[in-house]
Amino acid sequence: MNPDLSKLQPYPFEKLAKLKGAVTPPADLEHIALSIGEPKHPSPEFVQKALIDNIACLENYPTTKGLPELNESIADWLTKRFKLQQVDPVSQVIPVNGTREALFAFAQAAVDRNAANPLVVSPNPFYQIYEGAAYLAGATPHFLPCLAENGFNPDYDAVPASVWDDCQLLFICTPGNPTGATLKFDDFRKLIELADKHNFILASDECYSEIYVDGKEAPMGLLEACAQLGRHDYKNCVVFHSLSKRSNLPGLRSGFVAGDASLLKPFLLYRTYHGCAMPLQTQKASIAAWGDEQHVAENRKAYTEKFRQVIEILGPVMPVEQTDAGFYLWAETPVDEETFAQQLFAQQNVTVLPGSYLSRTIDGINPGKNRVRMALVASVEECIEAAQRIRTFVESL
């Protein structure tokens, strides 16, 4: 077996299950899960209909490249959403089965494992796929702490030139999971300049980009920054988007990778052998989803209301702040994060995720220490109930 498999750490939810297994929650309280970032809003009925109406497509093999009309719908959405001059649906877009598999697969295609010290650089805390993808591509993950004093974004100015020299792939996540922090134009410009100077690839995970406070400006994306810099070829840059969060379709497993055509061409070759073409009925349903914004706006309103209510309840007893975007609260805890999560479950039957399970300790610092991630994915009523229980628990400490 591949010896690099031994480098993979348990997934955060495996650790959480073990932590919760040591206690018993109260039977008279219904469980409320704020631990997993799985949207619980209803999926759009018109997408369900498109899926059903095209079920006969099961009779046909899909192509890895995808239907031309799907790629065109994605290119149209990107162009409108991020104010781009153009996106070539043929050479600059590839549909994928959700960002999770695409992020992992892209690293396998992008990393030169024969280099002296290949690094995959990512934020810390982070989506664990970044780490696993690095190890199994033959690279070493290098983590950049996301701390409150830097707005929960990495301090890219503090990274030594030697790290950038060895970097082959830089994962950025904007809006961030779990912090909700976003990168601004100056941040993108700095990273693009670094990628040019040190010859590495910028991979921007933007799957939370459509969940932001209703009425506020939408977060900027990497391709948008490229366009503002006149880089319409998106050199060294790729973005990852998904319908899971935007459209409440986590089970559809539909997203895309877009950007530099010179990077997507070999990635498409890899995917052809990887054997992960999106089913045709899923592609048809995805076309419907990318073509509609009304359901996305309604989604944002629901999350905005949940943030407002939950922060109002928790604010008096613990430090919680409205994030730039996404659907997480990255909350400080009055006791260590594992004790907080375990005892909250034991006393109130509410599940949250310890921040240290999403982070690595580097130079004695774990950015997830004394923090928990709360995913406001349940209904407004359930989130309010969970917040009231969390407040009761905090007040009891």
Domain with 311 in it: what CATH number? 3.90.1150.10
Q: Are residues 54 and 37 in the same domain?
A: no
Q: Are residues 29 and 102 in the same domain?
A: no
Containing domain of residue 84, as a range? 45-292
Give the whole-angstrom CA distance, residue 174 versus residue 161. 23
Q: Which candidate, 168, 119, 165, 125, places its Cα nearest to that of 148?
A: 125
Q: Are residues 196 and 305 in the same domain?
A: no
Q: Are residues 13 and 85 in the same domain?
A: no
Query: pLDDT over 90 for what percent of the chain?
Result: 97
Q: Are residues 242 and 161 in the same domain?
A: yes
pLDDT band at 300 (very low <50, low <70, confident <90, very high): very high
Q: Are residues 144 and 281 in the same domain?
A: yes
Q: Are residues 353 and 374 in the same domain?
A: yes
Q: Are residues 229 and 271 in the same domain?
A: yes
Give the whole-angstrom CA distance, residue 372 versus residue 340. 8
Q: What would the mean pLDDT of 181-210 be, rounded to a whole number?
A: 98
Q: Facing residues of 238 across strands?
A: 203, 259
Q: Are residues 253 and 375 in the same domain?
A: no
Half-sphere exposure of 74 (CA within 13 A, CB side): 31
CA 256 to chain centroid, in Å, comes to 13
Q: Of the candidates 252, 273, 292, which is a domain's last residue? A: 292
Total domains present in the chain = 2
Does residue 70 carry a pLDDT above 90?
yes
pLDDT of the residue at 275? 82
Q: What would the mean pLDDT of 214-232 be, rounded to a whole number?
A: 95
Q: What would the mean pLDDT of 301-313 be, rounded to a whole number?
A: 96
Q: Are residues 37 and 107 in the same domain?
A: no
Does residue 216 carry a pLDDT above 90?
no
Q: Are residues 150 and 209 in the same domain?
A: yes
CATH number at residue 258: 3.40.640.10
Q: Which candidate, 116, 118, 96, places its Cα nearest to that of 282?
A: 96
| Cis status of the peptide bond prior to 141, with omega within 30 of 0 | no
Radius of gyration of the chain (CA): 21
Under a CB-based contact definition with an 8 Å cutoff, are residues 94 and 258 in contact? yes
Q: Are residues 281 and 326 in the same domain?
A: no
Q: Of the candidates 248, 265, 292, which is a domain's last residue? A: 292
Under a CB-based contact definition with an 8 Å cutoff, are residues 203 and 106 in contact? yes
